[in-house]
Amino acid sequence: MTCENMENYEGNVGFDLSKMPLSNIAQRIMAAMHSFDLEENKNFRENEKNEKIGHYSSMKDTLLENKSPHCITVTDQPPKASSIISLQSTGILHSNQMSNIKDPNSSGSLPLSSCVYTPLHFKPSHLQKNGNKKEYLLKENTNIEKKETKNLKRKHATASHMSEQAKNCFTMEEFGIGIETKYKNSGETKSLENPVCDVRHLGPVEKRQLIEILKQATTLVVTMIYQDGPFQLKHDEDLNSMVKGIIILIKSPLDTRNHPFCASTTDPPVMDGFSIDDRYIYIKVEHDTLWRQEQEMSNQFARTMLFQILKCKHTVICFNAKEFVKTVLQVYGSYCHWKHVVDFVVLDPRIAAWLLDPSDTISSFEDLVRKYFEESVTMKVNNTNGGSSHNMMSLCSDLRILYRITVDLCSKLKVCGLWQLFYTLELPLIPILAVMETHKFQVDKEEMKRTSKLLGCRLKELEQEAHVAAGEQFLVTSNNQLREVLFDKLKLHLLCKSKTLPKTELQKHPSTSEAVLNALQDLHPLPKIILEYRQIHKVKSTFVDGLLSCMRKGFIAPTWNQTGTVSGRLSAKKPNIQGISKHPIQITKHQYEQGKEDEKTTVSPRTMFISSKGYTFLAADFSQIELRILAHLSCDPELLKLFQEPESLDVFMSLTSQWKGIPLEQVTHVEREQTKRIVYSVVYGAGKERLAACLGVTSLQSSQFIESFLQKYKKIHDFTQETIMQCHHKGYVTSIMGRRRPLPNINAKDYRLRTQAERQAVNFVVQGSAADLCKIAMIRIFTSIATSPKLTARLLAQIHDELLFEVEDSQIPEFAALVKETMESLQNIQAIGLCLKVPLKVNLATGRSWGCLRPFPEAAPGAARPWPAGVGH
């Protein structure tokens, strides 16, 4: 570089990598570096060597033997490699301002033997070669810097600025940001002055020692920091933001002979107090655009740390742990296959709290603390300066609270008999759902746009038809305006004398619900037009335009919620893929030219979901699983006999024949559908009013249908009554896996609330049990894929009783056999002593489009391996 060019760069940071002007003192330092001669450099190196020898005589032996609870120091590295640091906003505080990166080829570099990745080797950077010059010049200009950089003193500290004590231990207390957490009930005050160690600035030996600390820790408490500022524990669930870094509390054992929890056991953890050796570390996962060599070395060590966490055999705690697993997968990228997270066990207090009270989803950490942390927490801040440091110390306090709450909740689960459900069923689902969110659905975007346009045109036509039928213009989507037309103008309720039309709950106005419109559609053309309008509007807004809004580069990836329902079922959003109906709708496109017939087009949003090239969709559906569970729980002989007949027979056709006493061949489709709706009204506790609306009959008729059905299948009636009585006595009901649902209104004086709780009790026992079996199937199949060296199938979605996979074409026969045998084998689960009295049947279907699946031939048995231990594993 010429002298003229050098002058242009003297006033900027990082030479040609940045154009940020330097301060006057920094420019003088940079200019002096360029004029530094070889003789002075030689003398400087000799002086520096002598200073280092004197410095190391006063340092402690190793990181593991360090007695100070607030710092990380080493003995066999130069001072510049020591990093006793603290996060101050996005800046780093450490014991030497110039944190040089050592050559990985040197003897002191870390051979990442504990990681699955090959270390990357780089030559020393330009800054490394000039590190000695910078340190010398910084010492020479100490007095000048004290005057001109007074405000920067709290952001960047060097060895010349600190006393000997500060060189060995550097905490936030020295910046006036001491903080304490005071527990009111116990009277205990815990100091939180441990600095947060940024692993990017550790030397090779320090890194090895940190890995050893990680291996010896009894508990790791994990949370994340987002790029837009908030922490995961203070984060809005719906806020879409990238992860900036991971904060980990490493709890050292108070008694090294006994760990409070081990992932290989099935016992809940016990409370282990806090130690002065507990440490906080920060792993940055956000990628920088500058300093690529240093960035890659930092990323490599971050992957090593995360790999150790994944393989940790002791307690790992994280609130909303699924997001942490997703972040780990993103950090690993191509370095790690998703199969590697299958054995990861992390305790999520959010799920534990949901199991104790499924009606409360606990959407935030603050809600969790407010509900389950019995001791009041007050924060004592010594100084309000430096808000970012205060936030960091507050986060450290939150991690300790998170640990205590999690252990307390696990104890409550044990008392309530829910620990096994939590450990063997819900926890293994965390990495599965994280992986499912990384697998994307491919969608035909152009076809979806054409469908949206077609549906929009049809909605305009229907709106015009409605105005003609009503004799006036009105807002079709307004229930109030529709009510005025139907009942005030057309008086249709007076023409429907044989049926009592339902009214709205609050104001008791005539309802404009689907059930009412179905009852009125034969009296006037308008109700039928409104029904079609609503159906098409829902498909367009929710399942076409809604999917388009969630699409990214031709793909969608739903978000799966493990705690979104009281029954234990999974739920999905962005988009709600479970709500996409498998039944297509038919659109009539009117032709206004004389002689042309109307065109009819079939629209099915599922057909726009297509498999990737070389892959095929495989859907596995539990056949009538709720009815089979009802047969098992009720022990009704007629129902048990029904499922012992050849599987080729239609269950609801046979049920109708049994119930009405008519030959099987004389059962009509209408009678079959009527029977099906009655059965599920009993199972789901729909009630006679809802059944009447579904069947288009009066409440009296629907009540007679239910009574007649229960007279035929008396054991079902006995089962429902026994379930209700147990709920009245205990206040809750349980599924076959022990899942609980408290029902506080079961003994309410209000008849409506009490009867609703009674229906919910019966519904939960059946539907909750079905959800348990489906989750077990997910865990076992996912584990089979992850442990197979050749299977590449991906679990994309769970639609209640159906699992949807994307399978490599050549693996379809083998994988279909594995899925069918695994799911049907759940009739007998030895781990919990479950043996269903009826067989489980699984229907398989395959296709290139989700909406065009065809039944798959019977798969050959023998592909699934036995499951001797555990429920899911």
Q: At what angle do helices 699-712 and 651-660 cross, to 10 degrees?
A: 90
Q: What is the pLDDT of residue 114?
A: 33
Structural contact between residues 442 and 610, judged by C-beta atoms closer than 8 angstroms = yes
Asked whether the bond before 866 is cis by omega within 30 degrees of 0, the reply is: no
The H-assigned helical ranges of 311-344 are 321-332
CB-based burial label for 498 (10 Å; 0-12, 13-18, 19+): exposed
Q: At what angle do helices 387-415 and 365-372 cross, to 10 degrees?
A: 50
The Cα–Cα gap between 512 and 524 comes to 14
* Side chain identity, residue 765: V
Mean pLDDT per 10-residue run, the chain (873 residues)? 42 39 50 44 47 39 34 34 32 34 36 30 36 40 44 38 33 31 40 69 89 88 83 68 88 57 59 74 74 68 86 89 90 75 92 94 86 60 48 84 93 95 96 93 92 93 94 93 92 75 74 85 91 93 91 90 94 92 82 71 91 96 92 92 74 84 85 84 74 75 82 89 95 95 95 92 94 96 94 94 96 96 93 88 95 80 48 59
- Burial string for 282-314 (b: 16+ CB within 10 Å, else e) reads bbbbeeeeeeeebeebbbbbbbbbbbbbbebeb
- Which residues are CB-contacts of 239 (< 8 A; sequence separation ≥ 6)? 226, 228, 230
**CA dist list (Å): 434 to 342, 344, 346, 631, 796:** 10, 12, 13, 35, 11
Backbone angles phi and psi of 153, in degrees to 5: -60, -30
Closest CA to 847 of 801, 817, 794, 805: 805
Closest CA to 741 of 376, 359, 337: 359
Instruction: Walk across the sheet containing 555-556 and list its strands.
Output: 555-556, 441-443, 609-610
Cβ atoms within 10 A of the Cβ of 100, count? Answer: 20
Residue 4 is encoded by which pair of tokens?
Answer: 């003229």
The Cα–Cα gap between 631 and 642 comes to 9
The Cα–Cα gap between 101 and 128 comes to 7
The Cα–Cα gap between 493 and 382 comes to 72
The Cα–Cα gap between 722 and 788 comes to 45
- Burial string for 732-758 (b: 16+ CB within 10 Å, else e) reads bbbbbbbbbbebeebeeeeeeebbbbb
- How many residues are given for the chain? 873
Structural contact between residues 91 and 198, judged by C-beta atoms closer than 8 angstroms = no
Structural contact between residues 492 and 527, judged by C-beta atoms closer than 8 angstroms = yes
Query: Any bridge partners for residue 377, and if so which?
Result: 183
Give counts: helices (H), strands (E), the chain. Answer: 30, 26
The Cα–Cα gap between 186 and 652 comes to 62
Q: What is the pLDDT of residue 198?
A: 87
Q: What is the pLDDT of residue 719?
A: 94
Q: What is the pLDDT of residue 838?
A: 92
Residue 49 is encoded by which pair of tokens?
Answer: 């060597």
The structure tokens 């029954």 sit at 567
The Cα–Cα gap between 444 and 448 comes to 6
The Cα–Cα gap between 275 and 269 comes to 17
**CA dist list (Å): 743 to 24, 228, 720, 753:** 72, 41, 15, 10
The Cα–Cα gap between 676 and 656 comes to 9
Closest CA to 197 of 80, 283, 109, 325: 283
The H-assigned helical ranges of 801-861 are 812-824
What secondary structure does DSSP assign to 165-222, as a single string?
Answer: HHHH---GGGGT--EEEEETTTTEEEE--PPEEEGGG--HHHHHHHHHHHHH-SEEEE
Closest CA to 656 of 643, 644, 668, 641: 668
3-state SS, residue 359: coil
Structural contact between residues 611 and 806, judged by C-beta atoms closer than 8 angstroms = yes
Q: What angle do CA 206, 212, 213 make, to 5 degrees?
A: 85
**CA dist list (Å): 138 to 24, 142, 161:** 14, 6, 10
**CA dist list (Å): 642 to 528, 709, 716, 821, 839:** 39, 15, 14, 22, 11
The Cα–Cα gap between 621 and 54 comes to 73
The Cα–Cα gap between 116 and 784 comes to 22
Which domains does the chain show, CATH number per domain? 189-438 (3.30.420.10), 441-610 (1.20.1060.10)
The Cα–Cα gap between 473 and 8 comes to 74
What secondary structure does DSSP assign to 755-804, as a single string?
Answer: HHHHHHHHHHHHHHHHHHHHHHHHHHHHHHHHH-SS---EEEEEETTEEE
CA torsion through residues 91, 95, 100, 106, sign: negative
Structural contact between residues 791 and 815, judged by C-beta atoms closer than 8 angstroms = yes
